[in-house]
Chains A and B, each alone.
Chain A
Amino acid sequence: MTEGLFQTLVNTSGAIVCAKDANGRYVFANSQFIKDFNVTGKPICGATDFDLFPRDIAERLRQHDEMALDGPGTSAQEEVIRVGEDERSYLFNRVPLPKDCSDARLGVIAFEITQRIKAEDDLLVSRSFFEGILKIAADAIISIDEAQRIILFNQGAERIFGYTAEEAIGQPLDMLLPMGARPTHRHQIAQFGRTEVSARQMGERGGIAGRRKDGTVFPAEASISRMRLRGRTTFTAILRDVSEARRAEDAIKSLNADLKHRATQLENANRELEAFSYSVSHDLRAPLRSIDGFSQMLMEDFSADLPDEAQDSLHRIRAASQRMAQLIDDILALSRVTRASIERREVDLSAMVASAAEDLHQEDPQRKVVFSIPEGIRADADPHLMQVVLNNLLGNSWKYTSKHDTARIEFGRFVDARGRTAYFVRDDGAGFDMAYANKLFGAFQRLHAMHEYSGSGIGLATVQRIVHKHGGEIWAEGAVEQGATFYFTLK
């Protein structure tokens, strides 16, 4: 081979080629050396690495050169060479040269491998990134090969199925499936492998199930994807244990069903109550009419034969039957209030109070009662029910002032300590003992004997129910013989 041909080959090989003498002085460097290490303009032959490279690099190169000179043959070494700001990696192949005609003792052939190392680094980063994802994923991530053997089994899969990756990898996928599902599943995956789709949700109709190491079967949701890599097909399933979600769903379903059942029961109860009320209003009154009517007939037809005591008894029978009739009516009114729906609109409470007061005056014109009713007190409430409230409260005041020669009944509005608007009806009548204030609003609770003041004991219970239906509160203040005040709020 001629030297010219040798030079051409060395310079066009793309490799860095150089040779040094025993003292590390260059005796030869090809054009790639000069180009890569940017040493144009400097005489290379006779120079050492300390003349061409920064000190730390030169020292390292020298050290490696000496090791190669002592070595038995070719040695490969990765070197980092800094050229200006640029750091590049090279693979240096060093070979000790035989002592013949030349001074050259060490031959070096080097290739730049910066790109390859970077690619390797990137691959490493990317691999640890995906491994990290596999590791932290709560879902099971499982890959299988074409033979449906497990080739990937992440920590999520270990947690969910109870197998370690070691136990699972290499095993058939079947071991993760309930016995019954194995044949169809195997078939479905094979079929999926032949379709054009590359990913889909599994078990779209009715969900799928998994089987743990301990044999328990659990409901799961999963998606499967297919990957073709260098002619080999793998399937990867991402699977989630939905036992908890399914349990919660079932609980909600059962609660809903329960709620529906109760609503139906309530509806039935309401309908029954309505039928009951109707029956009460119709059927309970008929015997009372007979008792009252025939007592009256006795008194009319046989008054001459009846002693006073007998007549008195008949009077009492009649009074009692009429009281019971009133009681029935009041209970019905109370139950009607309970069933009634509220239709709110702006109502003029002042006008309602005035009309109730007028009715009371007309019933008993002899009485000297002064009403104080400020005009223009309005509220957002059900008009019919509010009239019931005000009639009851005014009626009570009227009744419990009846033993006084004169009386004063006041209606008004104020804002209480909690900032709520409260309405009140106040009188200066018989009042009540605050010790019994909690009994005022109970049905059939009375604080006065029947011979003192008549009444069914249902009026205030009705009033309270209406106020509560409006989201309000009701309370009372009073003292014996010093009058009573009833307050209520409306939401």
Chain B
Amino acid sequence: MSLRPILLVEDNPDDEKLTLRALAKNNIQNEVVVARDGVQALDYLFGGGHAPPAIVLLDLKLPKVDGIEVLRQMRTSGPTKLTPVVILTSSKEDQDLIAGYELGANSYIRKPVDFLQFTEAVRQLGLYWLILNEPPPR
């Protein structure tokens, strides 16, 4: 069975590269689709006839359409309603945490500055969401 892809929604190219590296270092084999703003993310999720991704790694501060709006639209639409969404962001402001969880985010991770900690965080979330967790049936 082929692995479902990971959708990484991230506008910062550095963060994109670092995240891809952290995923690679943790031997996560899934294809990674990168959306660089909210519109690209919504296009991939709703426009292209793609199967829902295994997981969405979602930044909040994005050009055009922000992460909270992407999450809101995912949760109101059938195919992506149950897709695991991990908010991966710089902010740990209460308002973002509350908005994220209220809209049904599955996890909320604040990207650590220390790259080793970041790699560890990606390892744990990959282990949990891609291996341990049983995804909803297709």
Contacts and interface: CB of A to CB of B under 8 A. Distances in A.
Interface of A: 277-278, 281-283, 285-290, 292-297, 318, 321-322, 324-325
Main secondary structure of the interface of B (DSSP, over half): loop
B91 A289 contact: no
Contacts of A318: 114-115
A281 B91 contact: yes
A285 B90 contact: yes
A285 B118 CA distance: 13
B113 A321 contact: yes
A295 B90 CA distance: 19
A293 B18 contact: yes
Contact of B90 (A277, A286, A292): A286
B21 to A, nearest CB: 7
Contacts of B93: 277-278, 281
B91 A293 contact: no
B14 A290 contact: yes
A294 B18 CA distance: 8
B61 A289 contact: no
B90 A293 contact: no
Interface in B73-100: 89-93
Contacts, number: 57
A293 B118 contact: yes
B29 interface: no
B14 A293 contact: yes
A322 B116 contact: no
Contacts of A288: 113
Q: Rank and list the top 5 A-B pairs by shortest CB-CB distance, nearest first.
A: A325-B113, A290-B14, A293-B115, A296-B115, A293-B18
A298 to B, nearest CB: 11
19 contacts: A278-B91, A281-B90, A281-B92, A282-B61, A286-B15, A287-B14, A288-B113, A289-B111, A289-B112, A289-B115, A290-B15, A292-B114, A293-B14, A293-B18, A293-B21, A294-B14, A295-B115, A296-B115, A296-B116
Contacts of A282: 61, 89-91
